[in-house]
Amino acid sequence: MKKEMKCKVIPVNVNAPFSKNLFGIFLESIGTCIYGGLMVDPDSELPQLCGMRLDILDALKKLKISIVRLPGGDYTDNYHWQDGIGDVEQRPVHWNGNWKQQDPNRFGTHEFIALCEYLGAEPHFVTNLGTGSVEEARAWVEYCNLPAGTKYADMRVKNGRKDPFGVKYWAVGNEPFNRGGLMQPEYYAYLYRNYAYFMRLMDPNIELVMGGVFNEPEGWNEKALEIICNEWRPPVPEHMSVHAYIHGVPKTDYTPEEYYQVLLNLENGRRQLYQNVETCKKYSKNGTQIRLSIDEYAAWHGVARDPHLFTPMSMLDAIVAARMLQYTAMMGDAVSMLCASVGINALLSLIMTKGDAMSLTPAYYAYLLMSEHIGGEIYGLEAEEELLKIGNDKEVPFVTSCVTKHEDKVVVSLVNASLSEDVDVMITLEELLGKGRKKGQITRLEAEDVHDENKPGEPEKVIPSREEVVISDQKTAWVLKKHSICILEVKI
**Nearest distance in Å: CB 175, ligand AHR:** 5
**Nearest distance in Å: CB 300, ligand AHR:** 8
**Nearest distance in Å: CB 112, ligand AHR:** 16
Task: Name the residue with the smallest CB distance to ligand AHR.
Answer: 73
Residue 105 Ramachandran class (φ > 0 left, ψ -120 to 50 alpha, else beta)? left
Task: Say which residues have a Cβ less than 8 Å from residue 278's Cβ, sequence separation at least 6.
Answer: none
Residue 14's Cβ-side half-sphere holds a number of Cα atoms within 13 Å equal to 26
Query: Collapsing DSSP states into helix, strand and coil, what is residue 28?
Result: coil
Q: Which is nearer to ligand AHR, 295 or 489 (CB)?
A: 295
Q: Which is nearer to ligand AHR, 152 or 169 (CB)?
A: 169
**Nearest distance in Å: CB 74, ligand AHR:** 4
Residue 100's Cβ-side half-sphere holds a number of Cα atoms within 13 Å equal to 5
Alpha-carbon distance 488 to 318, whole Å? 17
* φ, ψ (nearest 5 deg) of residue 35: -90, 120
* φ, ψ (nearest 5 deg) of residue 163: -80, 145
Q: Which is nearer to ligand AHR, 312 or 380 (CB)?
A: 312
Q: Characterize the bridge pairing of strands 399-405 and 52-53.
A: unpaired
Q: Which is nearer to ligand AHR, 125 or 478 (CB)?
A: 125
DSSP codes joined into one string, 439-463:
EEEEEEE--SSTT----TTS--SS-
**Nearest distance in Å: CB 296, ligand AHR:** 6
Interaction site with ligand AHR (CB under 6 A): 28, 72-74, 174-175, 243, 296, 341-342, 347
Q: Which is nearer to ligand AHR, 31 or 123 (CB)?
A: 31
Q: Which is nearer to ligand AHR, 296 or 446 (CB)?
A: 296
Q: Which is nearer to ligand AHR, 29 or 428 (CB)?
A: 29
**Nearest CA-CA partner of 314 in 233, 419, 395:** 419
Alpha-carbon distance 273 to 79, whole Å? 29
**Nearest CA-CA partner of 71 in 40, 41, 98, 100:** 98
Q: Determine contact, residues 227/186, Cβ cutoff 8 Å.
A: yes
**Nearest distance in Å: CB 429, ligand AHR:** 40
DSSP codes joined into one string, 354-374:
ETTEEEE-HHHHHHHHHGGGT
**Nearest distance in Å: CB 473, ligand AHR:** 49
**Nearest distance in Å: CB 341, ligand AHR:** 5
Q: Which is nearer to ligand AHR, 243 or 291 (CB)?
A: 243
Q: What is the DSSP letter of 332?
A: G
**Nearest distance in Å: CB 432, ligand AHR:** 39
Q: Which is nearer to ligand AHR, 11 or 307 (CB)?
A: 307
* φ, ψ (nearest 5 deg) of residue 424: -85, 110
